[in-house]
Structure 1
């Protein structure tokens, strides 16, 4: 992309120079046809630009995930993700503004590097939104175990560790069916290997064997009652089974141990908005998720925003606009 920018500047400068050389004492104006041809040459695919910079940020996150240490806190993970995005924002902002200058009367290009400015935030969130939708490494980073690891989290059994690591190679590629037998072997070698149990349950869930996943998560919680992975995933499974009361109950159990967990509020909000038509509670839960995501600089803030927007549309149709804005106000969210 940096090479592309250099070529772009050379092209523009070459055109300006060639025009000037025709007659140093005359100004030259391109005809409408020539102007259109030039604009077609210089016009950039903004979607492609975003994808290229976001993919670079995604690769950065992937590198961090491969090198991260066991036990890294959630704050460390969030900081590294933000750093990966920050590395791309300035160049992405510059390319986009150059592109905009071709069709604008204002030819001054100002690159804002103040991370707290609305301008910087806009381009940061462009990349962040793309990552939330399309970056597997980001999803893996944000869903990684955040609870304090115990002696049962890992295993001292060499065969269990070997099989576990083989499973991890597949699960990071979202090859759940291929990963499943390795985690089964890891659990057979060490039945108290919590991380192996959790990943085995994930594989069962992803391959549609929901009851087996619930059973394995139950075993994991017997060994580690505060295990965040099973506490987060059990309500998701009940949601997939369309047992919404049990899903809500599961999310509330998660909040009992982790009162600031955004996923619990997000999950309850999604169920209320999408499935049970409990819109007011749904918006309240989703606002709480949004505030926590924002505080933690989580890319999943955009998902909460989307759900709040969906709920607003439906509440407006039902004549409940006033109730909607009151819920936002109660959660200290302003609408501009």
Structure 2
């Protein structure tokens, strides 16, 4: 694996990222988010990352082209405004000192970071269940009707209504895995993590390899500060979904909450490299977390441990 250069000084300055509210960042992110919402959710994680990148790049290029055309139009208008008699003009040359160059990755990182903070569609697409099994959906019409209505209510953040509808769905079909998954998500949104865990366990009894319940049961244990159970759940997720960066990001986060910053860093660096490998937008989150862990270890006088772990993963840390 090639060494990855991480500039700690830049990482630290990115903590508490202040939203760049410039016209370009907001406009491009708005269009990119709309595009991201249309990405097929059955794609795998790497394919989703590529589609997200395409959405950002396309929106970025479109904005630059629109800006260029608007500037040219203004120059034409200004030039015509200086002419006294249009009838004597056979042709018109508009002088320009600048080449109209479209840079595909211009401000890419800033746009991506803004999307991470503002585009709920990106998270929904990226973390949606992308594998189905025999019991993922129900063959009972009434159960599917309640389930689909529950999805709409959930998207509208009417969680109590969604909970009622998902309960009706699993009453109609007790082996409806996705309904149990989404009932668990709803309980989680309502802050009832114990009930959420019960729902995820019911789903896992139906489908032991379900991505959503495997991941979300770990998150719920984290909220309950049952850190050992959360770690165990993330490791189980990692056994089913090998080399998924979410395993290591989740473990890194739980170890940090448990004040074990060295193990947190070890896992977070693995997450960063895997995010980097698939060009995931969530590598930015891993970078930020690495910076936080650097600060925590520095407070404890353990920068040597930080450098040792960075060397282990061939991550070069350059400080000004």
Q: TM-score, normalised by structure 1?
A: 0.74
Question: Which is richer in helix?
Answer: 1
- Equivalent-residue separation in structure 1 for 2:43 and 2:172 (angstroms): 26
Could you say which residue in structure 2 is the equivalent of 1:294?
276
Higher RCO structure (Cα 8 Å, ≥6 apart): 2
Distance 1:319 1:110, change over 3 A: farther
Q: Tell me, which stretches of 5 or more residues in structure 1 are unaligned? A: 1-44, 97-106, 115-119
- CA deviation after TM superposition for structure 1 residue 287, in Å: 0.6
Does the CA contact (< 8 Å) of 2:46 and 2:279 recur in 1? no
Match of 1:128 among 112, 115, 121: 112
Could you say which residue in structure 2 is the equivalent of 1:335?
317
Does the CA contact (< 8 Å) of 1:90 and 1:111 recur in 2? no
Could you say which residue in structure 2 is the equivalent of 1:206?
189
Does the CA contact (< 8 Å) of 1:312 and 1:321 recur in 2? yes
Does structure 1 residue 62 correspond to structure 2 residue 33? no
Q: TM-score, normalised by structure 2?
A: 0.78
Does the CA contact (< 8 Å) of 1:140 and 1:172 recur in 2? no
Q: Tell me, which stretches of 5 or more residues in structure 2 are unaligned? A: 1-19, 69-96
Q: Deviations over 1:21-70 (max 9, x none)?
A: xxxxxxxxxxxxxxxxxxxxxxxx95343122101111111133xxx36x
Could you say which residue in structure 2 is the equivalent of 1:144?
128
Match of 1:169 among 148, 152, 155: 152
- Where has structure 1 moved over 4 Å in runs of 4 or more? 91-96, 107-112
- Equivalent-residue separation in structure 2 for 1:46 and 1:222 (angstroms): 47
- CA deviation after TM superposition for structure 1 residue 209, in Å: 1.6
- Equivalent-residue separation in structure 2 for 1:240 and 1:134 (angstroms): 23
- CA deviation after TM superposition for structure 1 residue 93, in Å: 6.4
Could you say which residue in structure 2 is the equivalent of 1:267?
250
Distance 1:333 1:176, change over 3 A: farther
Stretch moving more, 129-138 or 316-325: 316-325
Tell me how large the CA RMSD over aligned residues is.
2.4
Could you say which residue in structure 2 is the equivalent of 1:228?
211
- CA deviation after TM superposition for structure 1 residue 228, in Å: 0.8
- The alignment of Structure 1 onto Structure 2 pairs a total of residues equal to 272
